[in-house]
Amino acid sequence: MTTLPRLPSNHLHPEPVGTVVSIREWFRRARPVSQGRFENGQDPAEFLAPNIESDSQEEHALAQDSWLIVGLGNPGAKYEDTRHNVGQMVLDELASRIGGTFKAHQANARVVEGRTAPGAPKLVLAKPNSYMNLSGGPVANLAQYYGVPVERLVVVHDELDLPFDSLKLKIGGGHGGHNGLRDIAKALDTPEFVRVRVGIGRPPGRQDPADFVLKPFASSERDNLPILIADAADAVEGVVSEGLLATQQRFHGKAGA
């Protein structure tokens, strides 16, 4: 086991308890100014550079392999069974497939990370803790935290303009009046992310759509809801493993889609 060479104590800068200092910052602060070397004569760059390079390569590889999957909805038990939260229902299904549990994240979200199979891309499943119309901040923060570009962001959401029990996928486009999509596009300064649109249908009669989306699914819909959620989860897996076009061809041809 390699032992870290001892640095002269007068070159260390104490930090308040709880402060996290990166290895690069530690190297910058700890490097002896006068001698330019450790007490054993070794150049700090010779000791640390390979480790820094290795860490950087590992982080880069992780980012290249990761997809950020966001399920839109409103927080709290009051909303968890409503139509507007079907995106988060899909994430619950994906979390069960990877055997993970959602945990609080500093980006104002609940997150679980994992893979659906060995060798499969890494999924970062995220439910923003914000209300639907403020989803953009948590999504942008998560994308930055994990180093995931917009090309590997998938947003799962309810879609009024599709009949219940149907599913469509697309990249980019307008928000169609969906405030969650609107805020994400604004926060990212681009609408060019993949959307998995889970059909909930239009409200009957003259019911206000804003009220309709905040109601639970009807009893006549509940038998098919688990199938719809499973299909949407399959679609997410398809996008990250097969690509958008192949997944569109598979799901857009299904009956009811």
Query: Is residue 80 included in any domain, yes or no?
Result: yes
Query: Is residue 115 included in any domain, yes or no?
Result: yes
Check: CB of residue 160 under 8 Å from CB of residue 201. yes
Backbone angles phi, psi at 84, to 5 degrees: -65, -20
pTM for this structure?
0.75
- Show pLDDT as tens, one digit a residue, over the chain (257 residues): 555 444 444 444 444 444 444 444 443 444 444 445 555 555 554 544 444 444 444 444 455 689 999 999 999 999 999 999 999 999 999 999 999 999 999 999 999 999 988 888 999 999 999 999 999 999 999 999 999 999 999 999 999 999 999 999 999 999 888 999 999 999 999 999 999 999 999 999 889 999 999 999 999 999 999 999 999 999 999 999 999 999 999 998 664 45
Query: Is residue 13 included in any domain, yes or no?
Result: no
Backbone angles phi, psi at 165, to 5 degrees: 75, 20
Write the CB contacts of 17 (distance below 8 Å, at least 6 apart in sequence). none
Query: Is residue 44 included in any domain, yes or no?
Result: no
Look at the chain and report how many structural domains it folds into. Answer: 1
Domain enclosing residue 131, as ranges = 65-251
Backbone angles phi, psi at 246, to 5 degrees: -65, -40
Query: Is residue 12 included in any domain, yes or no?
Result: no
Q: Which long-range contacts (C-beta less than 8 Å, at least 24 apart) are formed by 107-110?
A: 107/138, 107/141, 107/142, 107/145, 108/137, 108/138, 108/141, 109/138, 109/141, 109/142
Catalytic residues: 84
Query: Is residue 27 included in any domain, yes or no?
Result: no
Whichever domain contains 240, its CATH number is 3.40.50.1470
Backbone angles phi, psi at 247, to 5 degrees: -70, -40
Query: Is residue 150 included in any domain, yes or no?
Result: yes
Query: Is residue 24 included in any domain, yes or no?
Result: no
In angstroms, the CA 71 to CA 68 distance is 10
Backbone angles phi, psi at 209, to 5 degrees: -55, -35
Write the CB contacts of 207 (distance below 8 Å, at least 6 apart in sequence). none
